[in-house]
């Protein structure tokens, strides 16, 4: 079943529902909604937040959407697990004070188990495991009654796994997830943490509590019940696609794999021949797609915030191609392949193609220049360290690469790790801070004793906050 058909079935199931009522079909919002806590939309519920928070009243009691999502938090997982993309689409159904647990469970189970001939996903019931929050006996009883499954097929999980909140006082509630057993090749029996064996593909959030304090994912105070209880669910489109397409992972589905195929042609290497290469192929396919979707929504490469995320994704894709042995410009070959696959859902990829391709190709050019200048210096430095029996590249070297050749620290870290070396990051950061201090000092002297931050700003803009991780804390992926 191709991805487009999965989208259709999901939307129809909710739009035309007669059990709880029709859901209003809401188109995906941009990845760039204004939200002080989020760099990018990372879940289907984000555009509906004002309704859940009671700040605005929706014009409908029920909705369904297929929302574009980006999760930078998952970047290191890409290609290593079977299930994490930086870009993915979340199919959701939402109830704003309308139906609750019983409706949500009934509708989800129906779609998942209804035969393919009858318009469902046709999953084999004997492989499905609903999970519940351990303190939610109501959900346990409903799952048993609605599905007829025995008690030992309902998985009880704790707060950190199956209780949802936004990380701040406000609405919260238990979740239920639907897991599918993909067999012993993917992990041990009943090891629920083996996420690729018991693959979670649908999360149902039962928003029922009013939280007065949230200290961590597993430490919060429930002040009472919400006056209107809500439903927020998220089903991973790609996860369902690889299950239904008989593929091992989300990078092999119909809308992603063609990029890997093209990359095989370009590099002359074969996907499936070498585990290290395979991760690179998957990173290429994932990052090409997520970069394209980010540029489509208006992001341009830069040294801060969203622009820096895009820069890093584009550069990782290009570098992965180089590591696969392809040194020519790669994006002009790969990006159109991704566009052709994604344009069915997002036709603006075609009408905005001039802009999208220009932004992406220019970034690759700039990166090629950076690499050309810095790689030899890096190799030389790494060689010296190894020859002298060392295991760590000095902070001074990392700083020189940054200062003179424009190597972002994460590139140096990545290349060092590939060469089996560590980097004295603390030393690097010390030198960075010194350089900033010095340039502030210079600027102050120039302007006569007045503190002037424009020069400091300039340095920041030119070099960027190098901590990729600094942005991760902005994301609240609490379920
Ligand atoms: P996981 O535990 O596998 O990381 P999650 O619990 O973080 O997933 P949720 O926040 O519950 O995911 O999101 C709802 C659904 O969105 C998931 O059940 C999954 O199907 C899908 N999903 C989440 N993260 C990703 C991702 N990085 N790539 C693809 N699909 C994802
Ligand atoms: Mg996750
Ligand atoms: Mg989840
Ligand atoms: Mg999870």
Same-domain check for residues 27 and 146: yes
Answer whether 236 contacts ligand 1 (Cβ < 6 A): yes
pLDDT score, position 193: 83
The ligand minimizing its distance to the Cα of 241 is 1
The reply to whether 249 falls in a domain is no
Answer whether 83 contacts ligand 1 (Cβ < 6 A): yes
Answer whether 197 contacts ligand 1 (Cβ < 6 A): no
Give the count of domains, the chain.
2
- Ligand 1, residues 166, 239, 289: which to mutate, most atoms within 8 A of Cβ? 239
Answer whether 217 contacts ligand 1 (Cβ < 6 A): no
Could you count the other beta carbons within 10 Å of the beta carbon of residue 170? 18
Strand partners, 65: 26, 92
Burial of 476 (0-12, 13-18, 19+ CB in 10 A): middle
Answer whether 301 contacts ligand 1 (Cβ < 6 A): no
Residue whose CA is at the smallest distance from ligand 1 atom 12: 479
Whole domain around residue 30: which residue ranges?
Answer: 3-244
Atom of ligand 1 at shortest distance to CA of 240?
A: 20
Among 476, 97, 461, 420, residue whose Cα is nearest residue 308: 461
- How far does residue 436's CA lie from ligand 1's centre (Å)? 39
Answer whether 477 contacts ligand 1 (Cβ < 6 A): yes
The reply to whether 307 falls in a domain is yes
Same-domain check for residues 130 and 279: no
- How far does residue 287's CA lie from ligand 2's centre (Å)? 17
The reply to whether 134 falls in a domain is yes
Residue whose CA is at the smallest distance from ligand 1 atom 14: 234
Answer whether 97 contacts ligand 1 (Cβ < 6 A): no
Answer whether 307 contacts ligand 1 (Cβ < 6 A): no
**Cβ neighbours of residue 429 closer than 8 Å, sequence gap 6 or more:** 395
Burial of 206 (0-12, 13-18, 19+ CB in 10 A): buried
Question: Could you write out the three-class secondary structure of the chain?
Answer: CCHHHHHHHHHHHHHCCCCCCCCEEECCCCCCCCCCCCCCCCCCCHHHHHHHCCCCCCCCCEEEEEEEEECHHHHHHCCCCCCCCCEEEEEEEEEECCCCHHHHHHHHHHHHHCCCCCCCCCCCHHHEEEEEECCCHHHHHHHHHHHCCCHHHCEEECHHHHEEECCCCEEEEEEEEEEEECCHHHCCCCCCCCCCCEEEEEEEEEEEEEEEEEEECCEEEEEEEEEEEEEEEEEEHHHHHHHHCCCCCHHHCCCCHHHHHHHHHHHCCCCCCCHHHHHHHHHHHHHHHHHHHHHHCCCCCCCCHHHHHHHHHHHHHHHHHHHCCCCCCCHHHHHHHHHHHHCCCCCHHHHCHHHHHHHHHHHHHHHHHHHHHHHHHHHHHHHHHHHCCCCEECHHHHHHHHHHHCCCHHHHHHHHHHCCCEECHHHHHHHHHHHHHHHHHHHHHHCCCCCCCHHHHHHHHHHCCCCCHHHHCCCCCCC
**Residue after which a domain boundary falls, among 244, 263, 293:** 244
Q: CA 444, 459, 461, 464 torsion: positive or negative?
A: negative
Distance between CA atoms of residues 330 and 366, nearest Å: 13
**Residue after which a domain boundary falls, among 381, 401, 430:** 381
Same-domain check for residues 239 and 325: no
The ligand minimizing its distance to the Cα of 76 is 1
Answer whether 71 contacts ligand 1 (Cβ < 6 A): yes
Atom of ligand 1 at shortest distance to CA of 200?
A: 18
Same-domain check for residues 292 and 371: yes
The reply to whether 371 falls in a domain is yes
Same-domain check for residues 261 and 317: yes
Q: What is the CATH number of the domain that holds 196?
A: 3.30.930.10
Same-domain check for residues 24 and 80: yes
The reply to whether 460 falls in a domain is no
Same-domain check for residues 81 and 229: yes
pLDDT score, position 448: 58
The reply to whether 325 falls in a domain is yes
Computed on alpha carbons and rounded to an integer, the radius of gyration of the chain in Å comes to 24
| Token pair listed for 190 | 């009943």
Q: Find the angle CA(64)-CA(68)-CA(70) to the nearest 5 degrees.
A: 135
**Cβ neighbours of residue 324 closer than 8 Å, sequence gap 6 or more:** 263, 267, 269, 277, 280, 281, 284
Same-domain check for residues 214 and 109: yes
The ligand minimizing its distance to the Cα of 42 is 1
Could you count the other beta carbons within 10 Å of the beta carbon of residue 327? 12
Same-domain check for residues 53 and 184: yes
Chunk the chain into consecutive blocks of 10 residues (it has 479) and report each block's average pLDDT, rounded to whole numbers.
98 97 98 92 96 94 98 94 97 98 98 98 98 97 98 96 93 97 93 89 97 93 94 98 97 98 98 97 98 98 93 95 94 98 96 98 95 89 95 95 84 90 95 88 67 36 36 33
Same-domain check for residues 88 and 160: yes
- How far does residue 92's CA lie from ligand 2's centre (Å)? 16
Residue whose CA is at the smallest distance from ligand 1 atom 1: 200
Answer whether 90 contacts ligand 1 (Cβ < 6 A): yes
Same-domain check for residues 140 and 268: no
| Token pair listed for 143 | 């799952």
Contact between 60 and 94 under an 8 Å Cβ cutoff? The reply is no
pLDDT score, position 120: 98
- ipTM over cut 0.95: yes
Residue whose CA is at the smallest distance from ligand 1 atom 16: 236
- How far does residue 130's CA lie from ligand 2's centre (Å)? 17
**Residue after which a domain boundary falls, among 221, 244, 267:** 244
The reply to whether 361 falls in a domain is yes
């Amino acid at each position: 079943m191709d991805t487009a058909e999965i989208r259709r079935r999901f939307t129809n199931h909710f739009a035309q529902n007669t059990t709880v009522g029709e859901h209003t079909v809401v188109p995906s919002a941009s990845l760039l909604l204004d939200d002080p806590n989020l760099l990018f939309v990372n879940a289907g519920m984000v555009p509906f937040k004002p309704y859940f928070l009671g700040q605005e009243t929706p014009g409908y009691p029920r909705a369904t959407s297929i929302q574009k999502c980006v999760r930078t938090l998952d970047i290191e997982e890409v290609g290593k697990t079977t299930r994490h993309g930086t870009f993915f689409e979340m199919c959701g159904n939402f109830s704003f004070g309308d139906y609750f647990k019983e409706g949500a469970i009934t509708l989800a189970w129906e779609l998942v188990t209804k035969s393919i001939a009858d318009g469902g996903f046709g999953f084999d019931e004997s492989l499905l495991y609903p999970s519940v929050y351990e303190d939610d006996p109501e959900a346990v009883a409903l799952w048993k009654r609605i599905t007829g499954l025995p008690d030992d097929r309902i998985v009880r999980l704790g707060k950190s796994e199956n209780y949802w909140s936004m990380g701040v006082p406000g609405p919260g509630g238990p979740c239920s997830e639907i897991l599918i057993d993909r067999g012993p090749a993917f992990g041990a029996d009943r090891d629920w943490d083996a996420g690729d064996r018991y693959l979670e593909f649908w999360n149902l959030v039962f928003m029922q509590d009013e939280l007065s304090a949230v200290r961590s994912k597993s430490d919060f105070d429930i002040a009472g019940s919400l006056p209107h209880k809500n439903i927020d669910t998220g089903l991973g489109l790609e996860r369902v696609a690889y299950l239904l397409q008989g593929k091992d992972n989300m990078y092999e589905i119909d809308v992603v794999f063609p990029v890997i195929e093209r990359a095989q042609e370009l590099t002359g290497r074969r996907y499936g021949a070498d585990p290290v290469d395979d991760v690179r192929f998957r990173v290429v396919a994932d990052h090409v797609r997520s970069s394209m979707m980010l540029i489509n929504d208006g992001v341009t490469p830069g040294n801060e915030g969203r622009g820096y995320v895009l820069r890093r994704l584009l550069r990782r894709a290009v570098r992965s191609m180089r590591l696969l042995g392809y040194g020519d410009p790669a994006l002009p070959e790969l990006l159109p392949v991704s566009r052709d696959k994604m344009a069915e859902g997002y036709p603006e990829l075609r009408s905005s193609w001039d802009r999208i391709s220009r932004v992406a190709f220019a970034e690759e050019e700039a990166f090629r220049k950076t690499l050309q200048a810095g790689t030899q210096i890096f190799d030389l430095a790494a060689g010296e360290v190894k020859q002298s029996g060392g295991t760590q590249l000095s902070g001074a070297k990392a700083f020189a690469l940054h200062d003179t050749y424009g190597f972002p620290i994460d590139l140096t870290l990545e290349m060092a790790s590939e060469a089996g070396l560590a980097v004295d990051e603390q030393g690097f950061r010390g030198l960075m801070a010194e350089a900033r201090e010095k340039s502030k000092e210079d600027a102050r002297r120039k302007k006569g004793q007045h503190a002037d931050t424009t020069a400091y700003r300039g340095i920041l803009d030119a070099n960027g906050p190098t901590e990729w991780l600094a942005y991760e804390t902005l994301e609240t992926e609490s379920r």
